[in-house]
Amino acid sequence: MSDYKLLINGQLVAGDMTMPVINPATEEPVAVCARASKGQLDQAVAAAKIAFPAWSRTTMDERRAVLVAIADVIQANLTDLARLLTQEQGKPLADATGEIFGASAFFRYFASLDLPATVVTDDATSRIEIRRKPLGVVGCIVPWNFPMILMAFKVPAALLAGNTVILKPAATTPLTALKLGELIKDIVPPGVVNIISDANDLGGEMTTHPDIRKISFTGSTETGKKVMASAADALKRISLELGGNDALIVLDDVDPKEMAPKVYGAAMQNAGQVCIAAKRIYVHESMYDAMCDELVKCANAAVVGDGLEQGTQMGPLQNKAQFEKVMGFIESAKQDGKVIAGGGRKGDKGYFINPTIVRDIAEGSKLVDEEQFGPVMPVIKYSDPADAVRRANASIYGLGGSIWAKDSNRAWDLATEMESGSVWVNKHADLQPHLPFGGAKFSGIGSELGEDGLKEFTQVQVLNMAR
């Protein structure tokens, strides 16, 4: 029997099957949780469809009150949720605590928004208004790198817009989402939020389900293509936040000693498992050697270990498949460049990889051209900043990017040329709830966060009346 159950129609329900959830630091089960069947997915969708008319007619104040109540219960259970998140995801407890707090904060942020009607014309001949209407049942599919904060990119916006929700966490990190279901079952009206977990076998069923009107998906580009294709028959709305291969460009006027820890942090947060992590580091030839030396110091000083242990700065890769994929990147990088820090597994238990720095590498290498999603940093030499931007833009991806310089105006001018949904100057991966977030090119379709992200969960309706 599992202690972690599905939330369907306001009830905690045992799965038709169960599955173990593995702690990536120990390779041992954290718990056994419910695993939904196709029939249980259908039950959840049916409950959400039935709940939609009443929920969509609630006032914005009523919906806001529910969002605030969810934020309150997340915050009240912060310690327990953070520990559970570390056990199933691997990240250090301090980072997990920040993620849980952030999820609560994002619910509060969306509770501050509104979707007012806009009056375009109001005169003696006509009145024209533009309104935003909810879509219906929304499927929210969340990945394993940030299970709670990425849930909070989607669910509160969908609810505030008047939709009902099916939330599906990743197969390897379902526990915090299922625990959230337990915490909110008496806060949210039955059927308004349903939470199911699977073994990577129900995503396709969601994207083709005729009663789900929108899919909000965060994950890999290849899976995003499948989501887009399978949603086509039903003309289902989609939002896709997909892979990234963010370029970080360091100009020639910075101090390598001062800059290296910032660059290292931009690349190595969450063991590099961040869609907008700095994944390609371009450094001017005048300071290339010095920057590489400083990055090595950062990597060698990092404390890698179980996220529950005090002092841990980097946890394991989240799952065995990703661990093996990143080890493959390292092996290919040994052929294409020079590994100057790390370069292998740490220990013989858990999915730990020592933070790895690779120099004397360039485009054409798998590590540079593809998204590694792990603690492996390629450092690439350039001589002309405009050429560095061109090389950065040559990627199929366009999620984020950054330029670093003492002369921030010079960096700003170059940043405007980067082909990315978000570009930062003298910082990286700064996501804020009021700013829209989305990718260019193969990095996604649509936006999350901010008013733009809220509107992604709505249908425009024009009311046009003659007088």
User: Do residues 230 and 213 share a domain?
Assistant: yes
**What tens digit of pLDDT does each residue of 69-125 get?**
999 999 999 999 999 999 999 999 999 999 999 999 999 999 999 999 999 999 999
pLDDT over threshold 60, residue 1: no
**What tens digit of pLDDT does each residue of 299-356 get?**
999 999 999 999 999 999 999 999 999 999 999 999 999 999 999 999 999 999 999 9
- Domain span holding position 251: 246-432
- Helix boundaries (H) for 394-455: 408-415, 450-455
Q: Does 449 reside within a domain?
A: yes
What φ, ψ does residue 226 adopt, rounded to 5°?
Answer: -65, -40
Confidence of residue 463 (pLDDT cuts 50, 70, 90): very high
CA-to-CA separations, 60 to 109, 160, 162, 174, 255, in angstroms, rounded: 14, 7, 8, 30, 51
Q: Does 1 reside within a domain?
A: no
High-pLDDT (> 90) share of the chain, %: 99
Confidence of residue 2 (pLDDT cuts 50, 70, 90): low
pLDDT of residue 3: 84
* Amino acid symbol at 289: D
User: Do residues 84 and 50 share a domain?
Assistant: yes
Q: Does 438 reside within a domain?
A: no
Q: Does 335 reside within a domain?
A: yes
pLDDT of residue 89: 98
User: Do residues 186 and 102 share a domain?
Assistant: yes
User: Do residues 24 and 103 share a domain?
Assistant: yes
User: Do residues 132 and 229 share a domain?
Assistant: yes
* Active site (catalytic) residues: 241, 275
Q: Does 360 reside within a domain?
A: yes
CA pair distance 144, 174, nearest whole angstrom: 8
What φ, ψ does residue 23 adopt, rounded to 5°?
Answer: -80, 115
Judge contact between 251 and 404, C-beta under 8 A: yes
In terms of Cα–Cα distance, which of 189, 71, 209 is closest to 139? 209
**What tens digit of pLDDT does each residue of 194-213 get?**
999 999 999 999 999 999 99
Q: Does 177 reside within a domain?
A: yes
Q: pTM for the full model?
A: 0.97
User: Do residues 151 and 268 share a domain?
Assistant: no
User: Do residues 368 and 458 share a domain?
Assistant: no
Quick one: 387 exposed, middle or buried, by C-beta within 10 A (0-12, 13-18, 19+)? exposed
CATH of the domain at 313: 3.40.309.10
Which residues are CB-neighbours of 105 under 8 A, at least 6 positions away?
71, 433
Q: Does 78 reside within a domain?
A: yes
User: Do residues 293 and 361 share a domain?
Assistant: yes
Q: Does 437 reside within a domain?
A: no
In terms of Cα–Cα distance, which of 145, 144, 216, 218 is closest to 174? 144
User: Do residues 284 and 147 share a domain?
Assistant: no
**What tens digit of pLDDT does each residue of 90-102 get?**
999 999 999 999 9
User: Do residues 269 and 346 share a domain?
Assistant: yes
User: Across residues 148-162, what is the average pLDDT?
Assistant: 98
Confidence of residue 29 (pLDDT cuts 50, 70, 90): very high
When divided into structural domains, the chain yields a total of 2
User: Do residues 332 and 388 share a domain?
Assistant: yes
User: Do residues 151 and 25 share a domain?
Assistant: yes
CATH of the domain at 159: 3.40.605.10
Judge contact between 391 and 379, C-beta under 8 A: no
